[in-house]
Amino acid sequence: MTDMVPKISLKGLRKTFGPKVVLDSVDLEVMPGESMVIIGGSGSGKSVTLKCILGLLIADGGSIKIDGQEMIGISNSDRREILTKFGMLFQGAALFDSLPVWENVAFGLLAQRLYNRTDAKEIAIEKLRRVGLSPDVGSLSPAELSGGMQKRVGLARAIAANPDIIFFDEPTTGLDPIMSDVINELIVECVKDVGATAVTITHDMSSVRKIADNVAMIYHGNIIWTGPKNKIDHSGSDYIDQFINGKAEGPIKMEILKG
């Protein structure tokens, strides 16, 4: 038994869109320094869970605690304060195309008035170097970068303010297998470097095996299995077996509209 307060604690988290129940009752705990990967098929509620934690969507019920502090119902200023602990790598990188790369990386530092522009630029260049990009990339526009480079810049932005918790939304989607492995390696290294807790959502099993300490599987808005990465192949769950082996036959029924 440990008395350690979970970094993230979800209890009975519920979210609906009209009549559609996307999150039924999600229970999940992520301990400090842990790398939790949430897996699940398309439309299972992975992204909605992440958006509820970040406050981008308002949960209909349940509890979301960060470092023991309840997030549901807090004021916007308190939420912004807590958001300073977060870093986030978006699926499509979500770089601001009106700003050069270095300003994208330094955006959080400048927004929080932590550094002046000269110092923030130095930190941004250092973070770019950390993700394998040369300093001259800093002056380019995001539109001039390849998909893999955009992901790296997104990762540099996520770690720029040395956050306590980093979220990764489908970090390898749209990348070739080699670039996916490079990004996975960088994620592991960067998370270790800043000593952060990491929550990743993905359906890429190679990412899971590379990034995860623990894995949670979400299905129909509920967490149906949680355990360490090395037990995923012998979980005893037909759902997990079907998912990790990518079989069409099994208990998981994909919602496919037939013409």
Partner 1 sequence: MNFLAVIGRVAISFLQAAGKIGLFAVSGITHMLTPPYYPRELFRQMINIGYYSLPVVGLTTLFTGAALAVNIYEGSSRFNAESTLPTIVVIGIVRELGPTLCGLIVAGRVSASMAAELGTMRVTEQIDALVTLSTDPFKYLIAPRILATLIMMPLMLVVVADTIGVLGGYLLATSKLGFNSGNYMKSTIDFLETIDVMASLTKATVFGFFIALMGCYHGFNTRGGAQGVGISTTNAVVSACIMILLSNYVVTEMFFSS
Q: Which of residues 118-157 bind partner 1 (CB under 8 A)?
A: 157
Q: Give the separation between CA 213 and CA 32, rounded to whole angstroms.
A: 12
Q: Which residues contact 126 (CB under 8 A, 6 or more apart)?
A: none
Specify the stretch interacting with partner 1 by CB under 8 A; choose among 32-40, 66-74, 87-95, 244-252: 87-95
Task: Work out whether 168 is an interface residue with partner 1 (CB under 8 A).
Answer: no
Task: Work out whether 239 is an interface residue with partner 1 (CB under 8 A).
Answer: no
Q: Give the separation between CA 147 and CA 171, rounded to whole angstroms.
A: 11
Q: In what order do the strands lie in the sheet with 20-30?
A: 20-30, 8-17, 61-66, 69-70
From 6, 55, 138, 171, residue interacting with partner 1 (rule: CB under 8 A)? 55
The least CB distance from residue 169 to partner 1, in Å, is 8
Residue closer to partner 1, measured from CB, 30 or 95 = 95
Q: Give the separation between CA 24 and CA 61, rounded to whole angstroms.
A: 9
The least CB distance from residue 124 to partner 1, in Å, is 13
Residue closer to partner 1, measured from CB, 76 or 134 = 76
Q: Give the separation between CA 112 and CA 97, rounded to whole angstroms.
A: 20
Closest CA to 207 of 17, 36, 31: 36
Task: Work out whether 183 is an interface residue with partner 1 (CB under 8 A).
Answer: no
Q: Using CB under 8 A, list all residues that contact partner 1.
A: 51, 54-56, 76, 80-81, 83-84, 86-88, 90-92, 94-98, 107-108, 111-113, 157, 167
